[in-house]
Structure formats: C-alpha cells, structure tokens
C-alpha cells in the first residue's frame, strides 16, 4: 500500500478554503522568520483519496470490535456502546477544565459517586481517581506508603514483590527509592509462606501482591500473608488490575489490603491500548486517607467542591481530574450492570477461562492445574520438545486464524507461557472456534512445523525480525 505522501499530486486538496479577509499583517515580523518555512513537504490529496487511504489503513488494524482478543492480564473487554454515548453528552465533553466548581456540580457529583461506588465494591475507606493508568496508580500507592513511614519516622527501604508480578510493580517501587526484593511462588502458584517469613523484617515497608496473581490463580493464603506483613508493621499493597476476577465476590479491604490500585480500562470495560487512555484509581484504608493526592472533593451542605487543605497529602499526581471521560465510561458500566450484574460478569469471566483451560488441557502443557480465575496460563514447552515450534510461532499462527494472539512469555516463571483471558462477554461459539484454532495449530505443529514457524502468512507484513525492528526501526520516509 502506498503512503499518503506517495499518493500526493501537486495542487490537489481535500478542502476549498475561502480567501482570507483579514488585513495583511507582516507575519514574518509577528512570528519570527526562523519559524516560517516554505518547504513543508505535506501530501496533497483529494478528500475521497484521503478517506480511502485511512479507511483502508484502519482495516488492517485489529480491535475488540473486530474479533476475539484474549490478551491475558490486559483484559481486552468489549466496550459497551452505551458507555460511549454517555461520555459524549455535551455536559461532560463541553465543560472547561478550569470552570469554577459551581459550574461543574454534575461532573463533581459523578466523580464523588464513583469514589463511593469503588470504596463500597472494594471495601476501602476512600478512593482517588487522579492516576492516569495502572502503573501510575501503583506509583501513587507506593508514594503514600513511603509518606506514611516518613510520618511515623520509620526507616524502611524494602518492598517485597512476588516473582509472578507485572513488571510495573518493581518499577514503581524503585521509582520511589525502595529496594525491591523478589518473593518466590510455591508449587501451587501462590506466595511461598516460608520465604515470606524469612524476608519479612522491620525494614520492609510492604508487599505488593496481585490477586488473583498473573497465573490467574487466587491467593489461597491471603489472610495469612496479610497477617505476616502487618505483624512486622508493613503494609499490604494490592495490584487490582485483575479485579474483574472478583467483583461482588470478595472485597480487598476485608482481606487486609491497605492500598489497592484498579485499572478502569481493564475491569470496567473502557477502551485502552490503541483505543484510548486509561485510568488507575487508588483506594486506601482509613490509616492512609490523609496521604491521598489533592485536590479531594468535599461535600458541603449544598454543594461539592475541590479542596487542597490536606497537610499530609503526597500532592498532585495528575493535572485536572484524571482522565475524566474514562471515569464517565466506567461509571456508566457500573450503573448499567448494578451490583448483581458486576458479580455475574465476574462469574462469566471465570467460567469462560476455565472452559478454555479444560478444552485445551489435552493439547498444551498446563503447569498449574487448578481451578483458575479470569485467565489461564499454558506453556508451549510440549510443542518445543516435540517439533521445535515455540510459543511465539503459535501466537503468530493464530493471526492467520483471525484472532489476536494471547499474551505470551508472561508471567516469567512459566517457560513458553501462553496466557489466555477470554473475558465475560464471549459466547460459547466464539470460545469453541478459538479452541478449535488452537487445537488445529497444535496439530500443524506436529505435522508441518515449518508452516507454523513461517506464520503469519495472511497479513500485509509477514514475520518480522523483531530484534531488528525494535533496535533499528526504519520509520522515516524520504521522497526519493
């Protein structure tokens, strides 16, 4: 496909602009000569060619509206269109971010209610909606933990992080100046309690725990883990990116979590990745409320307003109110499903993942063979031994079958990992045809391994040299 620059013909234009009736000004004088260029090499195309160009390009993309997108841990949920309709209401889109509180009462009320909903769903004392994504929420949570110990005059330098954790966890700990120490998993895929006991000292500020963890497994000893951490004065941080696995079933606050970050763009069905920005609210127990970012919403007798008057706050972590339109979409999802609906969504997500797990178990290694939560993790090691076909080849071959590949090579403790998260909205037919494709690929790997190794064969660009593409990307087009 030609680039838009290659379609350019001098003099063509997508729009007719009327001649300017503004009196001549000396632009050179106003703007300065160095900013004025005559030689901008912009493409010149007619409107119809412009529309076709970008429509054709968009058809080479893949999204959750096009097909099954089982990207484990990333939770590519279907984005209900009602969320978009509500977020597009003029009262939400038209508000100036600097509007005075008094002109923004409806919007403030939505934020206030959303904080209350999240506090009640997750059993936390208070929530902030400022952070812009999951990793940003982690950073915010760890900053509060740091401030908490500073106020108590306790010097704690270490954060414990299980070997199954998302890479952002150690990054967030390190960014706040903590030393991160890896906590081993046991053969069951949960926290190794003995290892935790040996690491948990009074120099440990906290443990960052993902539950269900990135193996898609619920932490069986969670209350014991909380007790061990708390007994040494540490705090329990919850990475709640996978909260879609327990909505309405269990509340992290009741389990002993002191801080938890959510990913609205995963759990609450808002678009993400190429589809838009995220939102990473953080909930805290009563002990940490004073450290929440400012401004915070306060409810007076007759209105809602922002307040900065919290002396122990960690400060601001994001401009304005966070990613407001994402919050509106997630709010709509909560309101349209209700408490029972959220619980049902979780049950369906878990059922779908277990269905896939059981169907594919005869064909792929399943290193942790127990009931999973919202996702299941296979290993491609059987295929490696049998035919030299790797997980990456299986993932590429799935593209030929019309599916977005699952997450691969994560979590790191499973070699050749294939991490499948179907989400709650997929039908039995979709799950079945996906499993059929996986089974067909397992068969191809045995009978014609080269075919799988050469995949994808049906895409505009076939197998890339990924190292070269990452190290020496060639993304600059020059007119020849």
Ligand X SMILES: *Cc1c(COP(=O)(O)O)cnc(C)c1O
Residues near ligand X (CB under 6 A) are 73-74, 133-135, 166, 168, 210, 214, 239, 241-242, 263, 278, 280
Between residues 111 and 135, which has the closer beta carbon with respect to ligand X? Answer: 135
CB of 239 to ligand X, least distance (A): 5
CB of 175 to ligand X, least distance (A): 13
Contact 205, 178 (CB under 8 A): yes
Provide the token pair at 252: 């992290």
For 372, counting Cβ atoms within 10 Å of its Cβ (0-12 exposed, 13-18 middle, 19+ buried), the class is: buried
Distances (CA, A) of 260 to 117, 145, 286, 395, 439: 15, 11, 13, 32, 38
Q: Between 242 and 392, name the residue whose CB sits nearer to ligand X.
A: 242
Nearer to ligand X, 214 or 392 (CB): 214
Q: What is the DSSP letter of 335?
A: H
Q: How far is the CB of 346 from ligand X (least distance, A)?
A: 16
Shorter beta-carbon distance to ligand X: residue 76 or 204: 76
Classify 100 in phi/psi space as left (phi over 0), alpha (psi -120 to 50) or beta: beta
Strands of the sheet containing 158-162, edge to edge, are 126-128, 282-284, 259-262, 235-240, 204-210, 158-162, 179-183
Question: Could you give the 3-state DSSP secondary structure of residue 422?
Answer: coil
Q: Would you state the structure tokens that stand for residue 437, as one six-digit string?
A: 């494709």
The DSSP H or E segment spanning 466 is helix 466-471
Q: Give the DSSP letter of residue 479.
A: -
Nearer to ligand X, 318 or 397 (CB): 318
* Shortest-Cβ-distance residue relative to ligand X: 134
Contact 208, 138 (CB under 8 A): yes
Q: What are the residue ranges of helices labelled H in 388-465? A: 391-400, 428-447, 449-454
We find the least distance from the C-beta atom of residue 392 to ligand X, in angstroms, to be 20
Residue placing its CB nearer to ligand X in the complex, 374 or 390: 374
CB 168, min distance to ligand X, A: 5
Q: Which is nearer to ligand X, 162 or 397 (CB)?
A: 162
């Amino acid at each position: 496909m030609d680039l838009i620059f290659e379609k350019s013909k001098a003099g063509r234009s997508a729009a007719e602009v009327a001649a300017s009736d503004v009196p001549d000004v000396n632009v050179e004088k106003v703007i300065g000569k160095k900013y004025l260029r005559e030689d901008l090499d912009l493409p010149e195309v007619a409107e119809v060619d412009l529309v076709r160009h970008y429509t054709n390009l968009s058809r080479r993309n893949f999204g959750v509206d096009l097909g099954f997108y089982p990207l484990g841990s990333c939770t590519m949920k279907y984005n209900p269109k009602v969320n978009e309709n509500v977020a597009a209401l003029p009262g939400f889109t038209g508000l100036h971010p600097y509007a005075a509180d008094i002109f923004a009462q409806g919007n403030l009320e939505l934020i206030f209610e959303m904080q209350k909903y999240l506090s009640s769903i997750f059993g936390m004392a208070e929530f902030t909606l400022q952070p812009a994504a999951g990793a940003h929420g982690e950073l915010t949570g760890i900053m509060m933990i740091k401030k908490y110990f500073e106020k108590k005059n306790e010097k704690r330098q270490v954060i414990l992080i299980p070997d199954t954790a998302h890479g952002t966890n150690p990054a967030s700990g390190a960014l706040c100046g903590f030393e991160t120490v890896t906590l081993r998993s046991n053969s069951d895929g949960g926290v190794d309690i003995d290892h935790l006991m040996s690491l948990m000292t009074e120099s440990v500020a906290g443990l960052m725990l993902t539950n269900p963890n990135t193996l898609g497994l619920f932490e069986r000893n969670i209350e014991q883990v909380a007790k061990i951490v708390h007994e040494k004065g540490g705090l329990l941080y919850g990475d709640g990116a996978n909260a879609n696995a327990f909505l309405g079933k269990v509340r992290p606050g009741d389990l002993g979590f002191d801080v938890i970050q959510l990913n609205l763009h995963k759990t609450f069905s808002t678009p993400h990745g190429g589809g838009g920005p995220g939102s990473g609210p953080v909930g805290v127990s009563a002990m940490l409320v004073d450290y929440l970012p400012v401004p915070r919403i306060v409810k007076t007798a007759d209105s809602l307003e922002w307040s900065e008057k919290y002396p122990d706050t960690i400060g601001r972590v994001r401009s304005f109110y966070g990613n407001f339109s994402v919050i509106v979409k997630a709010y709509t999802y909560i309101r349209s499903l209700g408490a029972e609906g959220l619980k049902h969504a979780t049950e369906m997500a878990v059922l779908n993942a277990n269905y896939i797990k059981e169907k594919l178990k005869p064909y792929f290694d399943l290193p942790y063979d127990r009931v999973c939560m919202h996702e299941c993790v296979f290993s491609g090691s059987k295929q490696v031994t049998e035919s030299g076909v790797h997980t990456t080849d299986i993932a590429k071959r799935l593209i030929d079958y019309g599916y977005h590949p699952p997450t691969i090579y994560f979590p790191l403790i499973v070699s050749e990992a294939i991490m499948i998260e179907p989400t709650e909205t997929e039908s039995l037919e979709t799950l079945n045809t996906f499993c059929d494709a996986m089974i067909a690929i397992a068969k191809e790997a045995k009978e014609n391994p080269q075919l799988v190794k050469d995949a994808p064969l049906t895409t505009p660009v076939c197998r890339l040299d990924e190292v070269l593409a990452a190290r020496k990307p060639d993304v600059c087009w020059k007119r020849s």
